[in-house]
Amino acid sequence: MAALSTTLPLNRDSVCSAHKVVKNHVHRTPVVTNQTLSELASTPTTVENLKDTRFAGRTPAKPVLRLWFKCENLQRIGAFKVRGAFYALHKLSEEPGWLEGGGKEKGVVTHSSGGEEKLKIKILLYPVHGNHAQALALAARENGIKAHIVMPEISIPAKINATKGYGANVIFSGSTSVEREAVTEKVVAETGARLVPPYDHPDIMLGQGTLGLELQDQVESSIASQVNPAGQALRGVYAAAANKTKGNKEGLDAIITPCGGGGMLSGVALSCEGTGIKVFGAEPSHQGADDAKRGYESGERIPTVSSLTVADGLRTPVGVHPWSVIFERRLVSGMYSVTDEEILKTMKLVYERMKMVVEPSACVPLAVALFDEDFRSLVEKEAGEEGWDLGLVFSGGNVAVDALGKLLAGEK
Amino acid sequence: MAALSTTLPLNRDSVCSAHKVVKNHVHRTPVVTNQTLSELASTPTTVENLKDTRFAGRTPAKPVLRLWFKCENLQRIGAFKVRGAFYALHKLSEEPGWLEGGGKEKGVVTHSSGGEEKLKIKILLYPVHGNHAQALALAARENGIKAHIVMPEISIPAKINATKGYGANVIFSGSTSVEREAVTEKVVAETGARLVPPYDHPDIMLGQGTLGLELQDQVESSIASQVNPAGQALRGVYAAAANKTKGNKEGLDAIITPCGGGGMLSGVALSCEGTGIKVFGAEPSHQGADDAKRGYESGERIPTVSSLTVADGLRTPVGVHPWSVIFERRLVSGMYSVTDEEILKTMKLVYERMKMVVEPSACVPLAVALFDEDFRSLVEKEAGEEGWDLGLVFSGGNVAVDALGKLLAGEK
């Protein structure tokens, strides 16, 4: 990673600078609309449905929501992580002396983890760091930089092969995080490679934030031209998007992104600074994976998480740098969490209704829009009958397809 | 169905007429490109890989293929069938005397079947007639016409609910085709409803053919503007599409569609008449489901099929009207068939690499492009190093998601 002294200030302009670099290497992923899911999100649930939930006894909220999905599951390597990886390597290559000192040959290193030690007995999904490892391997190859990826020996073959397929030097380690980090340090000592962490660095945050800029622009163009991103006239619930009298009249009113380490959430929040678009974070609540929400409410970052939530990309505590944006600068307006059951119910809806392959972590923001009565009440209160145009980030689509059936049948 | 005397001639102009009607009711579904799958299709297999196949001993072909996917899995009701249904009802409403005779109130009827009797012990997928039944129910509702759908009592609840959800009158029958047809005849006798068959009628063929017109137009625009349908510059393998010196220089060279009853295949063939674009049909070979291919080769239509191929939408013999276009007029240049194993391998690739939810039947054309050495040799011979721009129709995405895992793990 480039030295912290070389990073740009954490603001919207810097996200725009990052986008100028990143857009040459990644897909401008499509934004997709969906009538059925927008109608579902705009339909109040019943008192009966709330009975056995944390919202028991409430009057169901009546929000009006037009949903706009940013499809980073269709991104290169199947996840948004390439944005941060490409930008991080660009900044590294600009660091004074790095190239001259043989930086490309010394290379970069990261380790792939994320609850994977539990893999043998649990779910067969790529963990978030699997996405980061593949993203780094790809970005390094395209920049002519050597990449070392430290992986537990028990990693699933598909993941090892994918990472090797991008030309990375895969180094095996034991399966605990202590063992992985020891091997990583050894690689750094022996090769001089630079560590590129998955989220806790300003360059990564700015890189991930570029998806927020695209999403804003794509929705604005759609509403202005009254044509949806698939090239058809905006119709049904979306027709009302052009007639708002309050909120952000010409585009999105709010965005929800998943929050694991917080790299994407903080980057997207920066991309919205000064636009009037509210940004919210979404987490799984299972076994305390809602660390950012709890931290946000108590005022103190929670540095460790140990959860086997089905949203395996979000089993990480929020990082120090993201936290400074999310909480200290209040660029995120609120944090919400949903149960694993709600995440899987949402995932099933996405497969059935949108015909999209998404990983469980990617479904968490939509689960908030559909099932979190706190969020839904907020929308009702703030937007009334006009409703909100709400951006939701489908962060990735990397699932081990063999395990999909069990997942979608509600088993973990 | 409207009387045969009222149907338009089976040619490209009639498909254009149908499109003027249909386009107001259905999505202009996106056309998607994919570098990885195009590269895979353009890579020769090995002698070793061919060893245990029907192509053992051959020298692997070296085709160059740029793939363009028409995403009818993103169509309304999740399948192309709405095109034929909307056009059929439009023609019916234009039939002299139908409206005046109380046609809307008498309604339309179809029966939903497709190997479903085996459902309890076999795969949980919606059969093709399930797609047709839902399509008819939707089109009838939007035209203010009553719809009766005859279904076996053992139908899966998701399907019954989906059909009821479109406002249709669901009538249960026994599970054999004899029982279903008896109930259907009774409905016709009692209500005066018109039978709308799933494929064997010129109006249905012309309606389904409209997707062929869109596909041609979408690919031509992409190549002319050098921008892919997602709005990015054509790059990688697709960059060569604009520099062809032979074949169809400005657009598609060929299209492969699935072939069950042949409604879509014959309609697409009509949409390509006179354009120079070759059209091919793709079938599963399992348990003789390749009836159209065998008929095409022997010169005689095969009127019955009894197959439990995993491509459950294609368990149907080709119809009389489609056959007249496919074989008698030779508007289809060839038929190819693939094994269930090849179909499932292809399906897994689509989920992993394209992040698209498709049903097994939808994967059959891509399976031909990837695995059928006869087809691949033909492309090599005809197109050489310039290769072909090949349209592939993803016909639908209606799978029972709970069953996906088993399917994708290669179990049936």
- Are B230 and A29 within 8 A, CB to CB? yes
Q: Kindly indicate the confidence band of residue A227, based on its pLDDT and cuts at 50, 70 and 90.
A: confident
Closest-CA residue of A relative to B34 is: A74
Q: With 80 as the cut, is the pLDDT of residue A409 above it? A: no
Q: With 60 as the cut, is the pLDDT of residue B177 above it? A: yes
3-state class percentages of chain A: helix first, strand second, coil last, to nearest 5: 50, 15, 35
Q: With 60 as the cut, is the pLDDT of residue B114 above it? A: no
Among A330, B238, B16, A383, CA closest to A375: A383
Tokens of B402: 């709970």
A81 is catalytic: yes
Distance CA A89, CA A145 (A): 9
- Radius of gyration for the alpha carbons in chain A, expressed in angstroms and rounded: 21
Spatial neighbors of A9 by CB under 8 A, at least 6 apart, are: none
The 10 Å Cβ neighbour count of residue A366 is: 30
Provide the shortest C-alpha distance from residue B100 to chain A (in Å): 31
Q: Are B404 and A409 in contact (CB under 8 A)?
A: no
Among the partner residues B231, B358, B405, nearest to A406 by beta-carbon distance: B405
Q: Does A74 touch chain B (CB under 8 A)?
A: yes
Among A205, A305, A296, A239, CA closest to A33: A239
What is the residue extent of each domain of chain A? 4-79+202-408, 81-195
Question: Over pLDDT 70: what percentage of chain A?
Answer: 95
In sequence order, what DSSP letters do the residues of B204-230 get, joined into one string?
HHHHHHHHHHHHHHHHHHHHHHTB-TT
What order do you get walking across the sheet with A108-111 strand by strand? A169-173, A147-152, A108-111, A194-195
Q: Are B140 and B77 in contact (CB under 8 A)?
A: no
Q: Does A401 touch chain B (CB under 8 A)?
A: yes
Question: Over pLDDT 90: what percentage of chain B?
Answer: 76
Spatial neighbors of A92 by CB under 8 A, at least 6 apart, are: A1, A2, A98, A103, A108, A194, A196
Q: Which is the catalytic residue, given A112, A113, A173, A271?
A: A113
> For residue A354, which residues of chain B lie inside 8 Å, CB to CB?
357
pLDDT in tens, A36-92: 999 999 999 999 999 999 999 999 999 999 999 999 999 999 999 999 999 999 999
pLDDT, residue B153, reads 82
Distance CA B331, CA B262 (A): 12
pLDDT, residue A250, reads 87
User: Which residues of B are designated catalytic?
Assistant: 81, 113
Q: With 90 as the cut, is the pLDDT of residue A229 above it? A: no
Spatial neighbors of B24 by CB under 8 A, at least 6 apart, are: none
Q: Does B123 touch chain A (CB under 8 A)?
A: no
Q: Are B318 and B344 in contact (CB under 8 A)?
A: no
The 10 Å Cβ neighbour count of residue B224 is: 11
Provide the shortest C-alpha distance from residue B227 to chain A (in Å): 12
The topology under which CATH files domain B4-79+201-408 is: Rossmann fold (3.40.50)
pLDDT in tens, B57-88: 999 999 999 999 999 999 999 999 999 999 99
Locate tokens 């479904």: which residue? A363
CA angle A276, A280, A285 (to 5 degrees): 170
pLDDT in tens, A136-182: 999 999 999 999 999 888 777 777 888 888 899 999 988 777 888 89
Q: Does B295 touch chain A (CB under 8 A)?
A: no
pLDDT in tens, A325-384: 999 999 999 999 999 999 999 999 999 999 999 999 999 999 999 999 999 999 999 999
Q: Kindly indicate the confidence band of residue A116, based on its pLDDT and cuts at 50, 70 and 90.
A: very low
pLDDT, residue A159, reads 77
Q: Does B227 touch chain A (CB under 8 A)?
A: no
3-state class percentages of chain B: helix first, strand second, coil last, to nearest 5: 50, 15, 35
> For residue B231, which residues of chain A lie inside 8 Å, CB to CB?
28, 30
pLDDT, residue B410, reads 65
- Are B230 and A357 within 8 A, CB to CB? no
- Decide which of B234 and B406 is more confident: B234
Spatial neighbors of A46 by CB under 8 A, at least 6 apart, are: A60
- Are A27 and B355 within 8 A, CB to CB? no
| Range A81-195: architecture per CATH | 3-Layer(aba) Sandwich (3.40)
- Are A355 and B357 within 8 A, CB to CB? yes
Number of CB pairs, chain A paired with chain B, less than 8 A apart: 75
- What's the mean per-residue pLDDT of chain B? 91
Among the partner residues A74, A402, A405, nearest to B402 by beta-carbon distance: A405
Distance CA B341, CA B343 (A): 5
Q: Which of A308-312, B243-247, B351-355 shows the lowest mean pLDDT across its residues? A: B243-247
Among B350, B351, B362, B353, CA closest to B393: B362
Q: Are B71 and B33 in contact (CB under 8 A)?
A: no
Closest-CA residue of A relative to B229 is: A230
Q: Are A267 and A212 in contact (CB under 8 A)?
A: yes
Among B282, B276, B277, CA closest to B262: B282
Distance CA B267, CA B264 (A): 5
pLDDT, residue A180, reads 84
- Are A401 and B352 within 8 A, CB to CB? yes
pLDDT, residue A143, reads 96
> For residue B405, which residues of chain A lie inside 8 Å, CB to CB?
401-409
pLDDT in tens, A279-325: 999 999 999 999 999 999 999 999 999 899 999 889 889 999 999 99
Among the partner residues A27, A348, A397, nearest to B232 by beta-carbon distance: A27
| Matching fold, domains A4-79+202-408 and A81-195 | yes
- Are B408 and A405 within 8 A, CB to CB? yes
Test the A interface: residue of B159, B404, B406, B407 with most A CBs within 10 Å:
B404
Locate tokens 């498909």: which residue? B15
pLDDT in tens, A242-279: 889 888 888 999 999 999 999 999 999 999 999 999 99
- Radius of gyration for the alpha carbons in chain B, expressed in angstroms and rounded: 21
Q: What is the ipTM of this complex?
A: 0.88
Among the partner residues B29, B397, B403, nearest to A405 by beta-carbon distance: B403
* CA atoms in the 13 A half-sphere facing the CB of B168: 31
> For residue B125, which residues of chain A lie inside 8 Å, CB to CB?
none
pLDDT, residue A411, reads 58
A4-79+202-408 — its CATH code?
3.40.50.1100
Spatial neighbors of A159 by CB under 8 A, at least 6 apart, are: A112, A126, A130, A151
> For residue A357, which residues of chain B lie inside 8 Å, CB to CB?
351, 354-357
Q: Is B161 helix (H, G, I), strand (E, B) or coil?
A: helix
Distance CA B50, CA B83 (A): 39
Among the partner residues B232, B397, B405, nearest to A355 by beta-carbon distance: B397
Helix pair A128-142, A157-165: axis angle to 10 deg: 20
pLDDT, residue A123, reads 37
pLDDT, residue A121, reads 33
